[in-house]
């Protein structure tokens, strides 16, 4: 099973990118998580799209998503909502609109995230739901992971040092993989 994990942060020391890398390491046998970020994606501009087409970085993400069995969004939370740069990347991935079916329709999707605040990324995760609904994705509601106070969860190299978070992340990935497998049988 191949799952595409995308971190929606541009920050070099991103907690969400660190969480994505931890998920890659904790994936159960038979599950490969391909890690990507939104680095290199320009702001969506219909004139740019008309003149130059879909940027190479976006095309890469689209093809990885299309070839994957599932998608995991590792989302920061900015101002009680989803980050603009992450939404921008998903907007680009939906271009041209005729590709929405190929990239997102019925694609199992999970959302999780890490934040230095006390509430994790609960509001950002909720803000993704209308977007996923519009794209026709199949969101997984069987688990939820919001890593709060992320500054104490990771060491200076971005490794998870909190054993409870590591266990919760492993269980989240395992649960999502089981959901993806169940959608393949139906």
pLDDT at 186 over 70: no
pLDDT digit string, tens, across residues 98-109:
999 999 999 999
- CATH code of the domain in which 6 resides: 3.40.50.360
66, 137 contact by CB (below 8 A): no
Residue 181 has a pLDDT of 97
Q: Is residue 162 part of a domain?
A: yes
Q: Is residue 165 part of a domain?
A: yes
- Domain span at 117: 2-181
Does this model's pTM top 0.85?
yes
pLDDT digit string, tens, across residues 142-158:
989 999 999 999 999 99
pLDDT digit string, tens, across residues 18-61:
999 999 999 999 999 999 999 999 999 999 999 999 999 999 99
Closest-CA residue to 16 (of 132, 157, 155, 115): 115
Q: What is the distance between the alpha carbons of residues 103 and 8, in angstroms, rounded to a whole number?
A: 18
Give Cβ neighbours of residue 26 (< 8 Å, ≥ 6 apart): 166, 169, 170, 173
* pLDDT, average across residues 162-183: 97
150, 116 contact by CB (below 8 A): yes
Q: How far is CA 169 from CA 22, 23, 133, 164, in A?
A: 8, 7, 24, 9
Q: Is residue 149 part of a domain?
A: yes
The structural domain count of the chain equals: 1
Residue 119 has a pLDDT of 87
Q: Is residue 186 part of a domain?
A: no
């Amino acid at each position: 099973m191949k799952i595409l994990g995308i971190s929606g942060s541009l920050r070099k020391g991103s907690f969400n990118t660190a969480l994505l890398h931890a998920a890659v390491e904790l994936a159960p046998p038979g599950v490969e998580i391909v890690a990507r970020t939104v680095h290199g994606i320009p702001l969506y501009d219909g004139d740019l799209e008309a003149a130059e087409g879909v940027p190479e970085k976006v095309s890469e993400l689209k093809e990885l998503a299309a070839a994957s069995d599932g998608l995991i969004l590792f989302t920061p939370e900015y101002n009680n909502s989803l980050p603009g740069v992450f939404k921008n990347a998903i907007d680009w991935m939906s271009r041209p609109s005729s590709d929405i079916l190929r990239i997102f329709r019925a694609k199992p999707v999970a959302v999780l995230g890490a934040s230095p605040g006390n509430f994790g990324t609960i509001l950002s995760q909720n803000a993704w739901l209308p977007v996923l609904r519009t794209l026709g994705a199949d969101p997984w509601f069987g688990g939820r992971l919001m890593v709060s106070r992320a500054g104490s969860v990771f060491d200076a190299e971005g490794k998870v040092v909190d054993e409870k978070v590591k266990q919760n992340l492993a269980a989240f990935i395992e649960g999502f993989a089981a959901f993806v497998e169940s959608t393949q049988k139906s």
